[in-house]
Structure 1
């Protein structure tokens, strides 16, 4: 699999959790009283978790619970399937379920049919609070929406985060986790404040609270023909990380997207790629008449490159890219195919049968983990995902 960018990030500047266990307990009881007043009844909670149960779960997970969440388990071991789950319509899990979660959703998202090397895990807001991973051992999922998403306490935060911060992960967050609040304490405070100001509505026995908490991941603003598409609020997104541009004449638009890390450029001509040299692009897909890779190769963040072009492209500049992990040249005419043998960090390669034959005759290839061989030069249509016939344990045949 492609390297996990979260593993490359530094830990937090502050190792002290932002939550307060005493305040969390007070807020929890106040929250329950407010809900009972609004609903006209109070739902019964399960018995508290014992200290032995808490210690056993922490030993199994290899991670300690943050003090505020730990204190809440001292009140009840989850919410026992209440009609109104306590954590913003998400079921509070009992300790027994925390360490026994099915992660088939992640396995599916990372299957090679879905071409994970083309996918980028984006940063959340605020930047660098959460590591850029789809899932980590230090993310303790404690509440479930029954649809494949969880709330988790993050005990392995990014450089600008705090241990115990609440994040959202799961099937709708494979492009990156979402930062929710700095702690379970703050999460409860937001719920209490929403109830106190009347930001809620009742539907039969269910209570919906508008606590102004992040829900699904924010949409990544896209660009078309050099003009930004607009968000629901009618304004261009403040921090664009994914860009797809068609009919590109020049790359001057990149001045407006300093944080772009996934970029797809399509043009019938040969746009000047110079502005790419100072953008943190990790995945780059080019579909152009001809491509000069000199400028993109100055980007030390480049991990994955896909080139479609009619005129021969020179791969030599890629020797200077320290982190290049994946290369797709199956839809390109290549002037110097032997350069592939010098890309020592390369682990994924996609080529045509003829290109693979040339490389096999040269020998000295990098220690590739995956090689995709097309019988003929492919047509790049959307969606990108490809049907694979997988052969494990030996190089793909150049004659098959």
Structure 2
């Protein structure tokens, strides 16, 4: 089977086989669909994309305005430039024309500290795009990084760290919530048009932040962790402070993305065992796992204005039709039986952007795919192809085996 798939350029396929004791076999092979994200676990076909190019709400979230934000007291572009020139004697920086062209390319004005940094040094990429002298470019790059304290981008390589740079499957993205506490220095975003990436520590990104949190400073330096999908950490209140004192690794506070009131995980081994404590106007995400006792009613969260994601493992809901009371829902994950209730009642929420069939146990993949195709058909989305092959397996005691 692997050789046959390779011959037609298919990397993965979902299939199931029904084999009787006598060897009669029905093989079900399920194709792919452009409207389905790849499955993470079998036999789920994956997330059903009901609207083209849609992304979860945190990936659409823009930063809150920060009109009162000002640079930190330590921000001193003149001191920064003097310090770098002392550390890099003879270095030739970029021109004002190049700075202006970069601002046009990025669509935002560069903060004065970032301008000062590049006036003091020109970082040419070693290799393609450099001056042509690989050894000279590499030496210049090494010197600049030693002077600044981190791996540094050339001016041409400055970039806006927006949400597109943190792609995430719908299944996981829908369960995230962006939260910015009132005492936060950095807004809890996926990305921002005000995050200007200028360097790295070899894996994570350093950026100048022009959209700080309520207690942040304009132009502060943040670290964007490549292993996280949301948020960034304050690394220094200014570029001047970091260049003068060093970019050494700093301890960061622990992250807790599963927190009320924005998200609620309900189940025997999770933060809540009931929905009542989760009911809050700011609630965005509810995930219901296996729990002791009777199935849950959604009544406590019906009508909440921001509840956009609900996933419930099979058998955990008392009445799947209560889903119709969640008017802001954009992502829904239910078991096949619960989806069947909604489909038969014509009650699939029209606001959905994506959906998933939660699988727990030994559900036959044909049943799962049939339900998935019914959901896709409601939005005229491409269906999952399926092929059925019937045959007879030769058993060990049969002639020729």
**For 1:153-182, what per-residue CA distance to the aligned partner results, in whole angstroms no more than 9, with x for missing partners?**
111212222221111114134342010112
Question: Which residue is equivalent to 1:77?
Answer: 122
Question: Which residue is equivalent to 2:196?
Answer: 140
The separation in 2 between residues aligned to 1:155 and 1:81, in whole angstroms, is 26
Equivalences for 1:165-184 in 2 at 5 Å? 165-184=220-239
Question: Which residue is equivalent to 2:284?
Answer: 303
Is there any run of 5+ residues in structure 1 with no aligned partner, and where? Answer: 34-41, 192-210, 221-241, 243-260, 264-279, 380-387
Deviation at 1:371, TM superposition (A): 1.0
SS at match of 1:118: coil
The separation in 2 between residues aligned to 1:318 and 1:81, in whole angstroms, is 56
> Under a length normalisation based on structure 1, what TM-score does the superposition of the two structures give?
0.64
Q: CA, structure 1 residues 187+376, in 2 after alignment: closer, same or farther (shift >3 Å)?
A: closer
Q: 1:326 aligns with which of 296, 299, 309?
A: 309
Deviation at 1:338, TM superposition (A): 1.6
Deviation at 1:146, TM superposition (A): 3.4
Is there any run of 5+ residues in structure 2 with no aligned partner, and where? Answer: 1-54, 125-139, 364-371, 387-401
RMSD: 3.7
Q: 2:254 aligns with which of 216, 219, 225?
A: 219
Q: CA, structure 1 residues 292+157, in 2 after alignment: closer, same or farther (shift >3 Å)?
A: same
Question: Which residue is equivalent to 1:369?
Answer: 353
Question: Which residue is equivalent to 2:298?
Answer: 315
**For 1:43-90, what per-residue CA distance to the aligned partner results, in whole angstroms no more than 9, with x for missing partners?**
x74x31111110011111111111122022112123742167236652
| More divergent stretch after superposition (73-82 vs 306-315) | 73-82
SS at match of 2:243: helix
Deviation at 1:292, TM superposition (A): 3.6
* Contact kept? 1:262, 1:281, Cα under 8 Å: no
Question: Which residue is equivalent to 1:25?
Answer: 81
* Contact kept? 1:117, 1:326, Cα under 8 Å: yes
Q: CA, structure 1 residues 26+213, in 2 after alignment: closer, same or farther (shift >3 Å)?
A: farther
Q: 1:118 aligns with which of 157, 160, 175?
A: 175
* Contact kept? 2:199, 2:207, Cα under 8 Å: yes
* Contact kept? 1:281, 1:301, Cα under 8 Å: yes
SS at match of 2:316: strand
**For 1:125-163, what per-residue CA distance to the aligned partner results, in whole angstroms no more than 9, with x for missing partners?**
x9421111132121111112332x221111121222222
2:103 is aligned with 1:48: no
> Under a length normalisation based on structure 2, what TM-score does the superposition of the two structures give?
0.64
* Contact kept? 2:148, 2:243, Cα under 8 Å: no
SS at match of 1:324: coil
Question: Which residue is equivalent to 1:2?
Answer: 56
Q: CA, structure 1 residues 396+87, in 2 after alignment: closer, same or farther (shift >3 Å)?
A: farther
Look at both structures and tell me which one has the larger radius of gyration over its CA atoms: 2
Aligned residues: 299
Question: Which residue is equivalent to 2:258?
Answer: 262
Q: CA, structure 1 residues 354+101, in 2 after alignment: closer, same or farther (shift >3 Å)?
A: closer
SS at match of 2:302: helix
